[in-house]
């Protein structure tokens, strides 16, 4: 009887371990996929390819296929075909909205970015706000989930943008190297906005004035 219990315990432990290995391998693969699609130089690409290879090696421990076969599959499909989640932060000070000037198109946008593996949408918005502007805050309210196809985004990838109202004790921006600038703007003085943001930013301001519903979804 004790032997049977021991075998059952070992089997359950192995299943739990395999699940953990699969989750870690999946997170590494997702991280590499994001990196390979957005890397700006060959050095970053090389690093993300190494992460992808490590994911294949780890997954092979529980999959039965060789790391080479898995890596070939990963390289053919290194970015998921489903819509990609992202989080964006809305910070309001004296009825003005915080915007950052992006490096990729020199236009203004709400702080935000792609959700990292293992991260919630709200955590993404808070992290991106901190990384881009130096402001540490908390997600107070979901304003909406916006489908990039319906908001005139110029990105080739299909995104779901989760936009959160963020509260912060210190709302003074200290722009990082990720952006060119950060500042607050009133609705009547909005700067040139990045595609997609040129529609979402005015919409969010109308939400906060009470003329659009909260939360919004497409």
pLDDT reported for residue 210: 96
Q: Which of 39-53, 100-114, 184-198 has the lowest mean pLDDT?
A: 39-53
Q: Which of 16-30, 121-135, 173-187 has the lowest mean pLDDT?
A: 16-30
- Which ranges of the chain does DSSP label H, i.e. alpha helix? 2-38, 42-63, 67-76, 121-133, 197-209
Greater pLDDT, 137 or 76 = 137
pLDDT reported for residue 32: 86
Greater pLDDT, 151 or 8 = 151
pLDDT at 197 over 90: yes
The gap from C-alpha 75 to its chain's centroid, in whole angstroms, comes to 21
Q: What is the share, in percent, of the chain residues with pLDDT greater than 70?
A: 91
Query: In whole angstroms, what is the distance from residue 3 CA to residue 11 CA?
Result: 12
- Cβ atoms of 109 and 133 within 8 Å: the answer is no
Q: How many helices (H) and strands (E) does the chain have?
A: 5, 9
pTM for this model (two decimals): 0.68
pLDDT at 198 over 90: yes
Greater pLDDT, 148 or 127 = 127
Residue 188: its H or E element: none
Structural domains of the chain in order of their starting residue, each with its CATH number: 2-76 (no CATH), 84-217 (3.90.79.10)
pLDDT reported for residue 51: 93
């Amino acid at each position: 009887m004790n032997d049977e219990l021991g075998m059952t315990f070992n089997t359950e432990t192995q299943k739990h371990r395999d699940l953990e290995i699969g989750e870690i391998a999946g997170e590494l693969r997702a991280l590499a996929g994001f990196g390979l699609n957005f890397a700006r130089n060959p050095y970053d690409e090389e690093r993300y390819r190494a992460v992808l290879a490590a994911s294949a090696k780890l997954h092979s421990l529980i999959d039965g296929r060789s790391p080479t076969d898995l890596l070939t599959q990963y390289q053919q499909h290194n970015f998921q075909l489903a819509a990609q989640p992202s989080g964006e932060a809305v910070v309001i000070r004296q009825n003005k909205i915080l915007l950052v000037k992006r490096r990729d198109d020199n236009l203004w946008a709400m702080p935000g970015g792609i959700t990292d593996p293992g991260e919630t949408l709200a955590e993404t918005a808070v992290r991106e706000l901190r990384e881009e502007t130096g402001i540490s805050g908390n997600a107070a309210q979901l304003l909406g989930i916006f489908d990039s196809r319906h908001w005139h985004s110029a990105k080739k990838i299909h995104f779901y943008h989760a936009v959160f109202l963020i509260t912060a004790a210190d709302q003074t921006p200290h722009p990082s190297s990720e952006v060119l600038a950060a500042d607050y703007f009133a609705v009547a003085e909005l700067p040139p906005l990045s595609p997609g943001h040129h529609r979402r930013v005015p919409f969010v301001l109308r939400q906060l004035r009470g003329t659009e519903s909260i939360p919004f979804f497409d």
